[in-house]
Amino acid sequence: MVKTSELRTKDVVNVTDGRRLGFIGDLELDLEQGRIKAMVILGTGRFLGLLGRERDTVIEWSHIRKIGHDVILVELASEEVLG
């Protein structure tokens, strides 16, 4: 079993292009089914956070390929990655 606090410390990496997407900022839950629908990667800050931040990336649970000790591997086409 994995705690949500442990998920937040893992890097999320897209296996399609090797790009590091960031860390999990939030999870979308389906309360009726009792399942995680998606994970949200928070957009990075622009210029020390003074100019806002980039758009968040929502990754559907079906795109997760592997949750490892230090990293979460996802498979996304380049057009699915925002920011």
Among the ranges given (22-26, 38-42, 46-50, 53-57), the one the predictor scored with the smallest mean pLDDT = 46-50
* Segments making up each domain of the chain, as ranges: 4-76
Architecture of domain 4-76: Roll (2.30)
State residue 60's pLDDT score.
95
Tell me the pLDDT of the chain averaged across its residues.
84
pLDDT band at 81 (very low <50, low <70, confident <90, very high): low
Residue 3's Cβ-side half-sphere holds a number of Cα atoms within 13 Å equal to 3
State residue 56's pLDDT score.
84
pLDDT digits (tens, 9 = 90+) for 1-17: 778 888 888 999 999 99
- Find where tokens 């920011």 sit: 83
Of residues 48 and 62, more confidently modeled: 62
pTM attached to this predicted model? 0.77
Counting Cβ atoms within 10 Å, is residue 12 exposed (0-12), middle (13-18) or buried (19+)? buried
Whether residue 76 contacts residue 16, with contact meaning beta carbons closer than 8 Å, is answered with yes
